[in-house]
């Protein structure tokens, strides 16, 4: 996992952890390790993001709220203020709700990839991927699957390669043969 110190205060946090682990732009994440002190309405306030995410392009502070909490007028104002304050400090700020995760194809993909991240890959698959990459672009997971032999074992290898970050795929749609490849990193042996 990409997680540092984590804790799950709400039942659905773990689902977000699956998403963060599967997201290729996420380098690491941890919970409640930082705080921001600011002034609002003449009073000192403190905000502790639920999760701080280190991405390739910077840091992201996440607050996890129930949908009803996120739409509360006081919180809507507070969220807008926090976005500005975090931006001033060079971080992005985002609220994630339980409703954001329900029925998400990204979440289903992340759970599938989590199950495949530690499956041993036959060395023949690594060589087949390296050879396929050398021959030219592979636009979809189906193309990689065929390049690896088109078998059930080859599909498991494709999922393992995506789970390990060697293949960065569009996780916004259900994983399948038509899933678009964003890029291939390395040859399946090293990145």
- Total number of domains in the chain: 2
Phi/psi at 159 (5° precision)? -65, -40
Domain that holds residue 48: 13-101
Structural domain ending residue among the three candidates 101, 117, 142: 101
> Does one domain contain both 59 and 86?
yes
In a domain, 6, yes or no: no
CATH of the domain at 21: 3.40.1350.10
Distance (Å) of CA 95 to CA 50, 99, 160, 168 = 10, 11, 30, 25
Structural domain ending residue among the three candidates 43, 76, 101: 101
> Does one domain contain both 97 and 109?
no
> Does one domain contain both 178 and 157?
yes
Structural domain ending residue among the three candidates 101, 135, 153: 101
> Does one domain contain both 94 and 31?
yes
CB 55 within 8 A of CB 27: yes
| Tens of each residue's pLDDT in the chain, 191 residues | 555 545 556 677 888 888 888 887 888 998 867 788 877 778 888 889 999 999 989 999 999 998 999 999 888 988 998 999 999 999 999 999 988 888 677 888 999 998 898 888 887 777 788 888 888 889 999 999 999 999 999 999 999 999 888 898 988 888 999 999 998 886 544 44
């Amino acid at each position: 996992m990409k997680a540092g110190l984590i804790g799950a205060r709400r039942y659905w946090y773990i689902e977000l952890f699956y998403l963060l682990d599967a997201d290729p732009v996420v380098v690491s994440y941890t919970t409640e390790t930082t705080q921001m002190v600011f002034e609002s309405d003449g009073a000192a306030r403190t905000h502790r993001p639920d999760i701080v995410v280190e991405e390739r392009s910077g840091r992201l502070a996440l607050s996890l709220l129930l949908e009803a909490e996120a739409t509360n007028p006081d919180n809507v104002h507070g969220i807008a203020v926090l976005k500005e304050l975090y931006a001033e400090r060079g971080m992005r700020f985002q609220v994630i709700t339980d409703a954001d995760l329900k029925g998400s194809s990204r979440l289903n993909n992340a759970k599938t990839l989590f199950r495949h991240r530690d499956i041993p890959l036959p060395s023949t698959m690594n060589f087949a991927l390296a050879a396929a990459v050398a021959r030219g672009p592979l636009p979809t997971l189906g193309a990689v699957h065929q390049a690896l032999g088109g078998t059930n074992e080859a599909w498991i290898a494709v999922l393992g390669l995506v789970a390990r970050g060697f293949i960065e795929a569009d996780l916004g749609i259900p994983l399948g043969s038509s899933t678009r490849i964003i890029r291939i990193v390395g040859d399946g042996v090293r990145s």
